[in-house]
Amino acid sequence: MTELIPAPRSAVAGSGEVRLTRHSRLCSDTGTENVGQWLGAALRQATGLPLREGHEPADAEGGIRLRLGPGLGREEYRLVSDGNGVLIEGGSAAGVFWGAQTLRQLLGPEAYRRAPLDRDRAWTVPYLTIEDAPRLRWRGLMLDVARHFMSKEGVLRYLDLMAAHKLNVFHFHLTDDQGWRIEIKRHPRLTGTGSWRARTKTGHRASPLWEDKPHGGYYTQDDIREIVAYAAERHITVVPEIDVPGHSQAAIAAYPELGNTDVIDTTALSVWDTWGINPNVLAPTDSTLRFYEGVFEEVLGLFPSEFVHVGGDECPKDQWRRSGTAQARIRELGLVDEDGLQSWFIGHFDTWLAERGRRLIGWDEILEGGQAEGAAVSSWRGYAGGIAAARAGHDVVMCPEQQVYLDHRQDPGPEEPVPIGWVRTLEDVYRFEPVPPELTPEEARHVLGTQANLWTEVMEDPARVDYQAFPRLVAFAEVAWSTLPPSAERDFAGFERRMAAHYRRLDALGVAYRPPTGPLPWQ
Ligand code: TNX
C-alpha cells in the first residue's frame, strides 16, 4: 500500500484519499510551528502548491494539521488521513517531525524533489491511520570528515538524508591523524597546520594510489553553529568527537609539544598522509591535558549535546613504553601499566566533562585498564565490549564493524571499486540485531541504541560517500527505528520490495546509491 521505510508500528488503510490543492492550508498548533515551517518549505519546493499557513483548526480542513497529542511518547506520532484532511499528532515536536517525514513518503517520490515537476500533478494521501514510535532512542550515523573533508553544504545534505530516514544522532568525527577539521580559537595552528596534508591517498581503484595534490579543509565556528542549528531543526543531536590520546598526529604536527618528545622528534611530523594505526600519540602530561581542556571548552560552547565523544580507540602504547616521562607518570599515579595510563587519560576527561554537566562517550578500547565511572561506550570491535559494558552498568551504543561499517565493501564482485574491507551486504545490515539477545532486560536498558559508521579513507568525494552509505543506511534505519522480528526471521524479500519504491525517493533526492542491478556508476 504505502511502502514506508522505516516500517511503522501499524498502518491501517481506509478507502479514499486526501487531495492537496492550491486551496489546502497547513495549520501548525502551538509547539509545532517549527515543524510546520520545515514541512511547508519542503512540500512547497517539491509541489509548487502555496500551502498557506492556517491558524484556526478549521483552516486545515482538507489540508494538513500538526499538533501535540497528549498521551503519546516523546518521539511517538499518529498520522490520520481521512475526510477531514491529514492530521499529524506527536508526543513532542520531534514526534510530529517524524510524522511529517512519513507524510512526505505518502505523497510519492516527487515530494522529495527540490523543484516542482508539474504544477498540475495531483498530490494525494490515501486514507489511513498510522501509529508509530521508534524502537531505539539513539539512531545514529557517524561521519568521518577527517580522512576526507566534506563541505558544510555536504554535511547539511547528510543531515537531511538522516532526517528522511528518522535517524536522530549525528556523530561528527572531527579530528584524526590525517586532519583537524574544527576551528579552535585559542589554538589556531590546529586548523592552520592541522587541516591540510600535502598529498593524499585515494580509494578509487582507477586512480593512482598517491596524489600529490594537497587535501584538506575545516569548519569555522560559525559553520559549526550553522550545522548544529540545522540539525536541531531536524531533531538531530550532533555529538562531536575529538580523538584522544591516539589518532592525534594532525594535532601533534601543529603543536609538536603535544607528542612524546623524549622518544621521537615530533617537530619532524606532518599531517599524516596514509591510513592505518598511527604510533604517534599524545604525551600523558599535564600540559597536554590543559591544552585539550581548552579545546573541549570551546567544543562545549558549540555543541549542546549531553554526550561528547573523546575517541580513545587504537592508541598504540609503544611510545609510552619508551618514554621516561610516561613511565614516571605511571609510577607517580601508582598504575600497573600503559593501559592504566590510557584509562587515567580518559578518566580525566570523564570527570572534567561530568563537572560541566556533560557525559563522556568513547570507543570500546576505553574499557581496557578500567572504565571511567559515567562513561558510555561505542562498541565497534564486535559485540563483546558492548555486552561487558552493559553488564557493568554502562550505557552503550552498538556499532559492530561486522555489520554496520559502511566503509566495508557491499559486494564480493571484482567490479566493486572499494579496495579495502570485508563484505557487508544490504541483507547483512538488514539482519543486524542492535540489542544483543544475551542481555537480560535490565542490562539491555543500557543499550541506548545503535549507529552506522562511515569512515572515509576510501571516499574522496560526496558521490563515493553516497555509494557506500546507500542503500545500506536505509536498511540500518529500519533496524534502528522499527520493531522487527529476530534476525533470522526478518522479511528481507519484503524489505527489498519496499526498497523498489524507496529507490525512486533516493533518485528524487539525488543520492548516488549502489544500484541493485545494472551498471555501477563508474563502469
Ligand atoms: C577502525 S572504528 C577505526 C578507524 C578506521 C576504521 C576503518 C575505530 C574506532 N577506528 O580509525 O577508519 O577502522 O574501517
pTM of the model: 0.97
Q: ∠ CA 362-363-367 to the nearest 5 degrees?
A: 85
Residue 460's pLDDT is: 86
Is residue 515 a part of any domain in this protein?
no
Of 495, 513, 500, the closest CA to residue 6 belongs to 495
* Residues 462 and 362 both lie in one domain: yes
Residue pLDDT, tens place only, 443-459? 999 999 999 999 999 88
Query: Looking at the 3D structure of the chain, how many domains does it have?
Result: 2
* Residues 90 and 27 both lie in one domain: yes
Its domain, for residue 245, covers 138-509
* Residues 125 and 143 both lie in one domain: no
Residue 201's pLDDT is: 83
Residue pLDDT, tens place only, 466-504? 999 999 999 999 999 999 999 999 999 999 999 999 999
Residue pLDDT, tens place only, 50-75? 999 877 666 666 899 999 999 999 99
CATH code for the domain of 313: 3.20.20.80
* Residues 159 and 81 both lie in one domain: no
395 lines ligand 1 (CB under 6 A): no
Q: ∠ CA 439-441-445 to the nearest 5 degrees?
A: 90
Residue 120's pLDDT is: 74
User: Is pLDDT of 195 > 70?
Assistant: yes
Q: Last residue of some domain: 132, 147, 175?
A: 132
* Residues 182 and 220 both lie in one domain: yes
* Residues 362 and 435 both lie in one domain: yes
* Residues 369 and 471 both lie in one domain: yes
Of 451, 481, 452, the closest CA to residue 469 belongs to 452
* Residues 128 and 277 both lie in one domain: no
Residue 95 CA to residue 75 CA, distance in Å, equals 4
405 lines ligand 1 (CB under 6 A): yes
Look up residue 355 and give its three cell numbers. 563537572
Residue pLDDT, tens place only, 104-147? 999 999 999 998 876 678 899 999 999 999 999 999 999 999 99
Contact 129, 12 (CB under 8 A): yes
Give the ligand 1 atom nearest the CA of 314: 10
Active site residue 314: yes
Q: Check 314, 401, 427, 496 and give the catalytic one.
A: 314
% of the chain exceeding 90 in pLDDT: 86
The overall average pLDDT reported for the chain is 94
Residue pLDDT, tens place only, 82-107? 999 999 999 999 999 999 999 999 99
Residue 398's pLDDT is: 98
* Residues 27 and 162 both lie in one domain: no
Taking CA atoms only, the protein residue closest to ligand 1 atom 12 is 455
Q: How are the residues of the chain apportioned to helix, strand and coil, as percentages rounded to the nearest 5?
A: 35, 20, 40
pLDDT bin (cut points 50, 70, 90) of residue 205 is: low
Is residue 326 a part of any domain in this protein?
yes
Is residue 2 a part of any domain in this protein?
no
pLDDT bin (cut points 50, 70, 90) of residue 206 is: low
* Residues 150 and 94 both lie in one domain: no
Is residue 1 a part of any domain in this protein?
no
* Residues 115 and 84 both lie in one domain: yes
Give the ligand 1 atom nearest the CA of 277: 11
Q: How far, CA to CA in Å, does 371 sit from each of 178, 415, 430, 503?
A: 28, 43, 31, 43
Residue 495's pLDDT is: 98
Is residue 521 a part of any domain in this protein?
no
* Helix H or strand E encompassing 377: strand 376-379
Residue pLDDT, tens place only, 291-342? 999 999 999 999 999 999 999 999 999 999 999 999 999 999 999 999 999 9
Residue 204's pLDDT is: 61
Q: Last residue of some domain: 106, 132, 158?
A: 132
Of 473, 476, 467, the closest CA to residue 512 belongs to 467
**Among 313, 342, 420, which is best to mutate for testing ligand 1, by the most ligand atoms less than 8 A from CB?**
313
Q: Last residue of some domain: 132, 162, 181?
A: 132
Is residue 17 a part of any domain in this protein?
yes
Is residue 523 a part of any domain in this protein?
no
114 vs 5, residue with greater confidence = 5
* Residues 194 and 299 both lie in one domain: yes
